[in-house]
Chains A and B, each alone.
Chain A
Amino acid sequence: QVQLQQSGAELVKPGSSVKISCKASGYTFTSYDMHWIKQQPGNGLEWIGWIYPGNGNTKYNQKFNGKATLTADKSSSTAYMQLSSLTSEDSAVYFCARDRGGFAYWGQGTLVTVSS
């Protein structure tokens, strides 16, 4: 069965960077886009972008250009998202999700807290 296992919660300082991971199993990792979605506490959902692990192609929501960098490691079937120059506005739960015609599979979410 398809599973997306995300890395654990992060507490990071303003101005720093963080890299979170999403390990995929149960399907051919290189054949499906991996998307990333942000959810701030009590708020709605924002689509950050996707990466196609088969060739490394990426597509970003323009709002997250320069903030998020998506990469993928085919050897370990793991997708990564690095967030840079962190501020309190980046404190959120971040999800990885698969499939274009509706996100049928989701990771459990990674809580990122930005605080000094």
Chain B
Amino acid sequence: DGGITQSPKYLFRKEGQNVTLSCEQNLNHDAMYWYRQDPGQGLRLIYYSQIVNDFQKGDIAEGYSVSREKKESFPLTVTSAQKNPTAFYLCASSPGDTVTGELFFGEGSRLTVL
């Protein structure tokens, strides 16, 4: 089945460690996105990529990094510079323009910093 796969579903890390969240899609979508979700705050955009080898910062990119070496993959690294990394992270993709296109979401990765 076509869709977006995020892994791992749950992740624990110690302070000072970097961690990478995986996002893979087989929908052949050009655009991919990473959102952070905190209780009562909705979704906030971290990074997005509209084409391979290109990505843009979203509203809360500090402390995060991404790469887009392949169309189907858009991994997110949460670095030790991220001051409050405990959150639910959602990856999404869309066939084209965000404004008019539906976003297809993965099931999310919950990161807890101990």
Same assembly: no
Q: Measuring CB to CB, which residues of chain A are less than 8 angstroms from any residue of chain B?
A: none
